[in-house]
Amino acid sequence: MKDVVVIGGGPSGLAVSSELAKKGYDVVLLERNDELGGLLQQCIHDGFGTDLFGESLSGPEFADIFISRVRGEDVDIKLEAYVRSVNKEEGLFNIVTVTPKSVEELEARSVVYAIGCRERNQFEIKIGGTRPSGVYTAGTVQRLINLYGILPGKDVVILGGGDVGMIVARHLFLEGVNSILMVYPEEFFSGLPRNAQQCILDFDIPYRPRTIVRDILGDKKVKAVELVDVDEDWEPIPGTEEIYHCDSVILSVGLVPYSEKLEDLGARVDKKTSGPMINEYFETTVDGAFSVGNLIQIFDYVDDAVKTSFTAAEGVERYLENESKKDLGIELKPGDNVRTVTPQRVDERTGEKFSVFFRPAIEKEDPKVEVMSKGEVLESCVKRYVSPSILEEISISKDILLGEEEVIIDVR
């Protein structure tokens, strides 16, 4: 019998494993790859760790810190471990893993999902046309360049103006492709302003806002794409179609949390974040099943994603020690000008303050962030600037929530 099984050896999984082991729990860490570190291993650019460590690290450097922490603790690490099933029976979790060594059944009192997300593909965004070779997700391209030293193509179109797309664009530019064009449906880059400057503008990489790849052309290999301008609702504007020649299309069109695995266990999923619904200790709606990192929502900074693990480790501890008392059941919901809020629920009286992350739906300078219930403002604060491309964090004290049932977070 294990105290906790952590699924996923990326930064958040590593952090929660070492925290729990440090507390003296018997921890098993399962990772499907043959090395720890998750996606960070393919992110060789820097910018990681500025918050947690006060310096700008590369992905592998950042990962190494947490890998050593886990290695320094007594964590049972299983690599190349595919989780075939997780079931909960009589309060205990039964986890079946497949590794090159064996099929193993683990029993655990609690489980932490740190499985992150997958990239959206060409079908999920309904790109039309043919289905030739030469269409890749940005993550595949990062892996291809950084781990194999191979380029996807010579003339590249990148769809999506988010952080990953911008970083990949700069990378391709530096590694010597012939041409790059970045297109995205938003009016501005959807990633961090810092990345827009350092990855696109500084290198004069051409970009086209309010544009999408409508069709892919070419039978065997990508020969061209049909670009089309879109309106504010991202609907194509007839008559603006243009054939653009290229040999590869790189998709950086968002990430989808692997929350289906948790759904199989019976956990509820928030339609807005696509991640599992969690409480302030990152516990899902299945008692004893926790969720950390980018599985909850896409964090802008890995530092923030990893910080969820510290709180979750406390939550797991409280659960294992039977200290958790879920008596509040207050729901947190996004207001009109907010897209997502996590946690979705506050369950316990203990702990004075907790962090709430929310993604604004609007761009605004000096906005007021309000915590409201039944039309009344319980607490408010002022931010310098909010935008949908920046995930915001506020700290709320539990005292003001007592007695409420449904609390709304909004910006004005």
Partner 1 sequence: MRIDAKVNRKIKGLPYDISFEVKDNIVSLEGKVEEYSDWVKIGSEIGDIEGVEGVINDLECEGKGSIVPKGFIEKSEGDEDVKMGGYDVVIIGGGIIGCALARELSKYQIKVALVEKEPDVSLGQSRANNGMVHPGLAPSKDSLKRSLNIKGNEMYEDLCEELDVPFKRVGSLILITSRTMEGYKKYIPDPIYKFFLKFILPWIVKKKGEVNGVKDIEILRGTEIHEEEKKVTQDVLSAVKIPSTGIVDPYQLTIALFENSEKNGVDFYFETKVVDFVKLGRSVKGVITDKGTLGCEYVVNAAGLYSDVVAELAGAREYTIHPRKGVELLFNKRLKGWVDHCLAELKIPSHPTSKGGGINPTVHGNIIWGPTAEEIADRNDTSVEREKIDEIMERYSSILPDFPKEGFIRYFAGVRAATFTEDFVIRPARDVRNFLHVAGIQSPGIASVPAIAEYSIERLKDMGLELDEDESFDGTRSSIDRAAEMDKEVLERRIEKDSRWGNIVCTCEMVSEAEILDAIERGADSFDAVKRRTRAGMGECQESYCLLRISEIISREMDIPLNEVRKEWRDSEFFDGVVRGEEP
Is 133 one of the binding residues for partner 1 (CB under 8 A)?
yes
Using CB under 8 A, pick the residue from 89, 90, 91, 126 that binds partner 1. Answer: 126
Residue 239 three-state SS: coil
Instruction: With beta carbons less than 8 A apart as the criterion, state whether 313 and 326 touch.
Output: no
Cβ proximity to partner 1, 151 vs 320, nearer residue: 151
Cβ neighbours around 243 below 10 Å, total: 11
Q: Which residues of 124-134 are buried (b: 16+ CB within 10 A; e: fewer)?
A: ebebebeebeb
Using CB under 8 A, pick the residue from 9, 59, 139, 257 that binds partner 1. Answer: 139
Which position has the token pair 């530092």? 303
Cβ neighbours around 23 below 10 Å, total: 17
Residue 285 Cβ vs partner 1, minimum distance, rounded to whole Å: 18
If 0-12 CB within 10 Å is exposed, 13-18 middle and 19+ buried, where does residue 256 land? middle
Binding mask 66-85 for partner 1 (x = CB under 8 A): --------------x-x-x-
Sign (positive/negative) of CA torsion 203, 208, 210, 214?
Answer: negative
Measured distance between the N- and C-terminal CA atoms of the chain, rounded to whole angstroms: 50
Single out the segment in contact with partner 1 by CB under 8 A; choices: 134-142, 161-169, 342-350, 375-383: 134-142
| DSSP H or E stretch at residue 262 | helix 260-264
Residue type, 303: D
Using CB under 8 A, pick the residue from 13, 47, 49, 134 that binds partner 1. Answer: 134
Is 127 one of the binding residues for partner 1 (CB under 8 A)?
yes
Q: Which of 240, 179, 226, 176 is nearest to 205 (CA)?
A: 179
Using CB under 8 A, pick the residue from 50, 53, 56, 101 that binds partner 1. Answer: 101
Using CB under 8 A, pick the residue from 54, 123, 365, 375 that binds partner 1. Answer: 123
**Residue ranges in 253-272 that form contacts with partner 1 under rule CB under 8 A:** 260
Residue type, 279: N
Is 89 one of the binding residues for partner 1 (CB under 8 A)?
no
Cβ proximity to partner 1, 105 vs 399, nearer residue: 105
Residue 281 three-state SS: coil
Is 220 one of the binding residues for partner 1 (CB under 8 A)?
yes
Cβ proximity to partner 1, 150 vs 237, nearer residue: 150
Cβ proximity to partner 1, 83 vs 296, nearer residue: 83
Using CB under 8 A, pick the residue from 58, 121, 179, 373 that binds partner 1. Answer: 121
Quick one: tokens of 336?
């009109």
Which positions touch partner 1 (CB under 8 A)? 32, 80, 82, 84, 96, 98-103, 105, 118-119, 121-124, 126-134, 136-137, 139-140, 143-145, 148-154, 174-176, 214-215, 219-221, 247-248, 260
